[in-house]
Amino acid sequence: MPSLPLLLVLSALPCADRDAVAQRLEETARARPQELNAEVNRLVEQLEGVPLPPGTSGQTPQDRAHQLTVYLDAVCKLETGQQSGAPEVASNPERLRAILDRPEFARARQRNSDVVTRLLRELETWLEGLFESRGAQGFAVATRAVMLGVALAVVLFGVLRVRWRRNRKVVLAAGTQGEAPPLELDTPGEHLGRARTALETQDSREAIREGLLGLLSTLEQRKLARPDRVKTNRELAAELPTRGAPARVTGEVERLVGWYDQAFYSLEPVPPDEAARFVESVEQLHGSLAEGRP
């Protein structure tokens, strides 16, 4: 039987709504990558002790979301196997070692050494109880095994702690290298054309997404905004007055991004007529800015 602490950790996983969590991560990475960190932090709170694998250098938001989705799927499969009474490894120490040796946990050990240390302490306690139950005949063997386990735990803890500090310094250094790169956008006409095509195919969500990209591209062309992967839509709208945008343009952009955020991030489907009105409003604003009207 698996140890009680390991079962308690696995029971905290959001496996019941795993598909919803995966969909939310992938949709956030695709549509609003600047909010992916908030979703990852939310997932960390739900896991309650199970570490997440860290991101890699040059990893895109879509790749990060896919990495977390695959990781969550693997861990939830582990939980399902325990609850269904799947065949287990011969002993708890071997079983725990097999779990920790899984690829999805390999990098997680680098990120959260406290969890590994706690599991090793649980293993040590289990070994002590096992050898004590066998009596004095195996006392010498038990003592050597326990001391070896403690020594390995101390060494592993030290190595992981050093690596964690080095990784943290690299992340902090990377975070001080200036502004985030600008968001790569096509011309307003290309985005609005794709929005019209999506309306014809009844894909309202894709239509308003392309409409918003067309709006951001228009503001970028007029040098009224600098879209990037960090700023939210509302933050971009709040910067318009400081870049010389007229009050009418600022008010219309705030209205459009406010409606978009409420509609796109809602679990309800986007009505086609409302999506069409949103695209039309973006087209009208683009036309007025192109003609130079205030």
For residue range 59-113, list pLDDT tens digits in order: 788 887 788 788 777 777 776 665 555 454 445 556 656 666 666 555 555 555 5
Rounded to an integer, what distance in angstroms lies between the CA atom of residue 125 and that of residue 253?
62
pLDDT value for 168: 66
For residue range 181-239, list pLDDT tens digits in order: 666 788 989 999 999 999 999 999 999 999 999 889 888 888 888 887 778 888 888 88
pLDDT value for 186: 87
Q: Using alpha carbons only, what angle is made at residue 260 by residues 40 and 216, rounded to the nearest 5 degrees?
A: 90
pLDDT value for 7: 41
The most confident of the ranges 59-63, 78-82, 115-119, 174-178 is 59-63
For residue range 152-170, list pLDDT tens digits in order: 888 888 888 878 777 766 5
Q: Report which of residues 177 and 68 the model is more confident about.
A: 68
Rounded to an integer, what distance in angstroms lies between the CA atom of residue 252 and that of residue 222?
15
pTM assigned to the model:
0.40
- Confidence label for 19 from pLDDT (cuts 50, 70 and 90): confident
pLDDT value for 94: 65
pLDDT value for 142: 67
pLDDT value for 80: 63
Picking from 112-116, 123-127, 172-176, which range would have the lowest pLDDT averaged per residue? 172-176
pLDDT at 1 over 50: no
Type of residue found at 125: T
Whole-number percent of the chain with pLDDT over 90 = 16
pLDDT value for 12: 47
| Cα dihedral: 33, 36, 38, 40 (round 10) | 180
Rounded to an integer, what distance in angstroms lies between the CA atom of residue 94 and that of residue 101?
10
**Burial classification of residue 22, based on how many CB atoms lie within 10 Å of its CB (0-12 exposed, 13-18 middle, 19 or more buried):** middle
Rounded to an integer, what distance in angstroms lies between the CA atom of residue 131 and that of residue 143?
9
Average pLDDT of the chain? 75
For residue range 252-275, list pLDDT tens digits in order: 999 999 999 888 888 889 999 999
